[in-house]
Amino acid sequence: MKKYDKISYEYDFGDSWQFTIEVKKTVDYDKNYPTIKRYKGDYCPIDDVGGTWNLMELTAYKRGEIDSLSDYLMEWLDYLEEFDQEETQELLKEYCSYERVNNESKM
């Protein structure tokens, strides 16, 4: 990929979470998997929470920006997880290694 290339990614087709991954910089690199250098956002999406508006309300509550939540959203609060860059990096590494080995075995 080249600088400023973008990948669109849709997650949870019911709620239609849409993400854009943009290449900000390319460098000579000795690894065979991508790395995450920066990201925006604090929390991961939650399946079937009711879309971005509900996630935004949950995160605002968690940050102390609002004082209360509906009973419905209070039930979802335990599912709210902070984005873990290290864990995600390890998953990318494992996925890319698996894909590479799997694709090479098909040749």
What confidence tens digit (pLDDT) does each residue in 33-86 have? 878 877 777 888 888 888 888 999 999 999 999 999 999 999 999 999 998 999
Q: What is the pLDDT, as a whole number, of residue 106?
A: 61
Structural element, H or E, at residue 9: strand 6-11
Structural element, H or E, at residue 103: helix 85-105
**Mean pLDDT for the stretch of residues 84-94:** 89
Q: In whole numbers, what is the pLDDT of the chain averaged over residues?
A: 83
Q: Which residue is it, tokens 């065979």?
A: 32
Q: Which residue is it, tokens 């998997």?
A: 33
Q: Which residue is it, tokens 């390890």?
A: 90
Residue 59, both tokens: 């995160």
Structural element, H or E, at residue 20: strand 17-22
Q: Please say whether the dihedral angle defined by the alpha carbons of residues 85, 90, 93 and 99, taken in this order, is positive or negative.
A: negative
Is the pLDDT at 102 greater than 70? The verdict is no
* Domain boundaries along the sequence of the chain: 6-105
